[in-house]
Chains A and B, each alone.
Chain A
Amino acid sequence: MDRIPILRLRDLLLVTIQVDMHDRLAMQLQDELTARISETGARGVLIDISSLDIVDSFIGRMIANIAAMARVLDAETVVVGMQPAVAITLVELGLTLPGVRTALNVDKGMALLESATGEIEDLPDTDAGDTE
Chain B
Amino acid sequence: MPVTRSEALELRSAADVVSVRQAVRTWAIEAGFSLVDQTKMVTAASEIARNTIDYGGGGVANLELINEGSRRGLRVVFEDTGPGISDIQQAMTDHYTTGNGLGLGLGGAKRLVNEFHISSRVGEGTRVVITRWK
Query: CB < 8 Å: which of B25, B46, B94, B111 contacts A92?
Result: B111
Contact status B112-A93, CB under 8 Å: yes
Query: CB < 8 Å: which of B14, B35, B38, B47 contacts A57?
Result: B47
CA distance A71 to B35 in the complex (A): 34
User: Shortest CB–CB separation between residue A92 and chain B, in angstroms?
Assistant: 5
How big is the A interface, by class? 20 to 34
Q: A residues bordering B, Cβ < 8 Å?
A: 20-24, 53-58, 60-61, 83-86, 88-89, 92-95
Q: B residues bordering A, Cβ < 8 Å?
A: 13-15, 17-18, 21-22, 25, 35-36, 38-40, 42-43, 46-47, 50, 94, 101-102, 104-105, 107-109, 111-112
8 A–B contacts, CB within 8 A, in A order: A20-B22, A23-B14, A53-B25, A53-B39, A54-B42, A56-B47, A57-B105, A57-B108
Contact status B17-A22, CB under 8 Å: yes
Contact status B46-A54, CB under 8 Å: yes
Query: CB < 8 Å: which of A57, A58, A89 contacts B39?
Result: A89
The interface residues of chain B lying within 8 Å CB-to-CB of A85 are 35-36, 38-39
User: Shortest CB–CB separation between residue A4 and chain B, in angstroms?
Assistant: 14
The interface residues of chain A lying within 8 Å CB-to-CB of B112 are 89, 92-93
The interface residues of chain A lying within 8 Å CB-to-CB of B21 are 20, 54
Contact status A88-B18, CB under 8 Å: no
Residue of A whose beta carbon sits closest to that of B22: A20
Contact status A24-B14, CB under 8 Å: yes
CA distance A95 to B105 in the complex (A): 11
Contact status B101-A61, CB under 8 Å: yes
